[in-house]
Structure 1
């Protein structure tokens, strides 16, 4: 069975699950008991969406596991707080290992008491795959939602994934071939941004978006009132959300901006931040620069608008950004971009040896081509940033990149047309019913 397609018995499977039919080897109960674990805040929304889809299929599901407020709103009584699993960084993980082992034991005990039928691990593969490996031999149908990055490095991890799961739900189509090579079921259900992105940000004229953005933000009102009718282009700058990224990448971007302002003093820049603390960090870096540069950049955080960074990108002519999910957001918003990224030299040299893909930006990985300029490591200089931004802003280059982004976006949408709940139901039916 091709891993990238949904089984042909989809309708039959959905009907049977909706009617509450169960495998003969499972306990004789009418309810479907699903264990589900989100290991971090980003997984809470994914888990909640999956739960909502399943709750629409049938109304007697019992949810057991760990999740945040969104998953709890869908019926999960979390065994313990999600924050207990949301540990990042090698040192932090090592110090929390005893409690993580204890948390796993508590989960397995709760799952055994609940006699779960399925286990769905949302991201956090280091934790969830270890849980699944204990459950799969006991007859629990195990799903990993969000593939580990085996498509990029350490493909040998596929053997552990196969031992722990019956199905992997992938966010991107380029993740599927590795599973196909190793004959393990995987389905591309698409990145949640494909479903949650506000379409009005794409359909509304940019001038209207810009007016609305400024109108609803006092800081931007003050910034633009001094530049009324005196702006040539607006560029959204996103140096990353981690402090290490900001301190490493923002100074390089500012070097480029300084040179751009010498060539076009009417350029304006906006930096949306994820919270007020990041706003202070970014502003401190900028305050060390010249008056001309400081006056051309607005650093804004707006807690009243959860998708403020997307609004800022949509209202801008182009985006200068670090690698990451923001590159996917910019592509979905159909905004041309330039990627700037720099790692610690030792980390970069190690990554070069391990990572198999030639690009860092998701649009380029998805397209299989350098449709977006990437200025990485020694290429990330002020001169190169300045030249590349000016080149992208030229009408012909701008139009060509925009067309490439739209084409790549359309292909991604076509290849991500399976919803997560039906995908799991169908695969469960195929593997248990034959």
Structure 2
């Protein structure tokens, strides 16, 4: 059979909703590039099933967050790992694509590599080896042949750490500018009415528990110096009740919103943000919202962070994604005991006024488009599909 007529089978392993979104778009691009010549198997969510994948089981079985939740479901998760490995090997695909959720997907990949070393394995979304446990990069190279990175600095990090061959394929946020950037009149000028502060205490219960009280105390002090202050607090649905109960005691009551549509509307309206560390910092930067980023580490991760200081590629100058991408510390960050009104209020006052500190962040964020866009104009899914097709044609 000639190369133009050959058919292919690709197995996917996805562990949560965000991976389902990436996987469905990758499948769509592959199907357009290879019409009628590609089929799919493995594990995915509803979006991937719409693209032709019949999932082995519902990914909600393994999409759990937090140590307690994982331990409670550990026997089922272990069972699902082995079930997935057996199914992939039985299908004998031309390639296996694992997407994010490394605690599950990488355990599957390791076992597939051991039992069926002829199957090429492609990883989509790199674990944060540049921040935590850099030794994972070299270990990954044993069972991941190609890695699709969504942050522009990650190919260089993996090259230096001995990781798999890594390709930057773009970040999904850069393709959602209309969701994040304000239209005419959505974000009033600072001198036109109320000043809107976004408060983002995180999506996990542990983050909310560690930060929300401090955020409330900071707002109480800030309200004394910033007139007409409005607080917007986007909450993930599972945290809404907990956040509402805590915020009910605040002197200035926040407007709490849920759902992606309301969250994006809040981003387009906000003048500044006080946020937990995480991907949200990149969302804010792309939206053009200057921010202060906070994180409190539990004892385990604080110890892990201290240990990682011996690794040159783990000792990044910042834990804030926009700072790492820009290559300089533009966004101020506050760790542990620094998360307090005495430290945060002066910074937020600057960000909610027409100051050099505010202008510096907004100006720096305008550089992200150039840094993060793919040079050839392809979409993220098209760039990812090109790497997958290259692997298929070499197999």
Return the match for 1:147 from 126, 142, 158: 126
CA distance in 1, matches of 2:122, 2:300: 35
Structure 1 343/201 Cα, relative in aligned 2: closer, same or farther at 3 Å? closer
Q: Choose which of 266, 277, 299 in structure 1 pairs with 2:256.
A: 299
TM-score by length of 1: 0.80
Q: Is the 8 A contact 1:65 1:79 kept in 2?
A: yes
The CA RMSD over aligned residues, in Å, is 2.5
Distance 1:286 1:113, change over 3 A: closer
What corresponds to 1:185 in structure 2?
165
Indicate which of 247, 266, 274 corresponds to 1:320. Answer: 274
Aligned partner of residue 197 in structure 2, secondary structure: strand
Pairwise CA distance, 1:346: 5.2
For 2:67 and 2:206, the matched residues in 1 are separated by: 15
> Does the alignment pair 1:174 with 2:150?
no
Alignment of 1:113 onto 2:70 = no
| Contact 2:294 2:334 (8 Å CA) reproduced | yes
- In 1: Cα distance, 2:211 partner to 2:369 partner: 27
Q: Mean alpha-carbon deviation: is it higher for 156-165 or for 83-92? A: 83-92
Judged with a 3 Å threshold, the aligned counterparts in structure 2 of structure 1 residues 242 and 176 are, in CA distance, closer, same or farther, namely same
Is the CA contact (8 Å cut-off) linking 2:95 and 2:392 kept in structure 1? no
- Larger helix percent: 1
* Rounded Cα–Cα distance in structure 2 between residues aligned with 1:268 and 1:142: 49
How has the CA–CA distance of structure 1 residues 271 and 100 changed in structure 2, closer, same or farther, with 3 Å as cutoff?
A: closer
The separation in 2 between residues aligned to 1:346 and 1:186, in whole angstroms, is 30
Paired with 2:71 and 2:220, the residues of 1 have a C-alpha distance of 42
Maintained 8 Å contact 1:44/1:69: yes
* Corresponding position of 2:239: 278
- With structure 2 as the length reference, what TM-score do the two structures score? 0.87
Q: For 1:213-241, what per-residue CA distance to the aligned partner results, in whole angstroms no more than 9, with x for missing partners? A: xxxxxxxxxxxxxxxx9943111111111
In the alignment, the residues of structure 1 paired with residue 192 and residue 228 of structure 2 have an alpha-carbon distance, to the nearest angstrom, of 6
Cα distance in 2 between the residues matched to 1:250 and 1:183: 37
CA positional deviation for 1:183: 6.6
The aligned runs of 1:246-257 (5 Å cut-off) are: 246-257=208-219
Residues 292-336 of structure 1 show CA distances to partners (whole Å, capped at 9, x for unaligned) of x23xx21223x5xx3321220111111221111111111111111
**Which SS does the other structure have where 1:119 is aligned?**
strand
Q: 1:352 to 1:391 in 2, by over 3 A?
A: farther
Query: Within 5 A, what are the aligned runs for 1:232-247?
Result: 232-247=194-209
Match of 2:311 in 1: none
With over 3 angstroms needed to count, the CA separation of the structure-2 counterparts of 1:87 and 1:402, relative to structure 1, is same
Q: Is the 8 A contact 1:233 1:268 kept in 2?
A: yes
Find 1:50's aligned residue among 26, 30, 34: 26
Deviation at 1:394, TM superposition (A): 3.4
* 1:410 alignment partner in structure 2: 370
**Structure 1 residue 42: deviation in Å?**
1.7
Q: CA deviation at 1:153?
A: 2.7
Check whether the contact 2:182–2:269 (CA below 8 A) recurs between aligned residues. Answer: no
Aligned residue for 1:169, secondary structure, equals strand
**Cross-structure match for 1:425:** 389
Shift of the 368–270 alpha-carbon distance from structure 1 to 2, 3 Å rule, reads same
Q: Does the C-alpha gap of structure 1 residues 398 and 92 become closer, same or farther in structure 2, counting only changes over 3 Å?
A: closer
SS at match of 1:311: helix
Moved more, 408-417 or 185-194: 408-417
The within-5 A match list for 1:256-405 is: 256-275=218-237, 277-290=238-251, 293-294=252-253, 297-301=254-258, 303=259, 306-345=260-299, 347-354=301-308, 355-395=314-354, 396-405=356-365
Return the offset for 1:243.
Answer: 2.2
Contact 1:331–1:409 (Cα < 8 Å) also in 2: no
Larger Rg: 1
Q: Tell me whether 111-120 or 230-239 shows the greater mean CA deviation.
A: 230-239
Q: Give 1:12's aligned residue.
A: none
Unpaired runs of 5+ in structure 1? 1-15, 22-30, 211-228
Q: Does the 8 Å CA contact 1:231/1:267 hold for their aligned counterparts? A: no
CA deviation profile, 1:115-173 (whole Å, cap 9, x unmatched): 31110001122332333234345311110111122222322223331111210111112
Quote the Cα distance in structure 2 between the aligned partners of 1:110 and 1:69: 19
What displacement does 1:98 show? 3.8
State yes or no: 1:64 paired with 2:28: no
Q: Distance in 2 between the 1:200 and 1:154 partners? A: 34
Q: Which runs of 5+ in 2 are unaligned?
A: 309-313
Q: CA deviation at 1:201?
A: 4.5
CA contact (8 A) 2:129 2:136 kept: yes
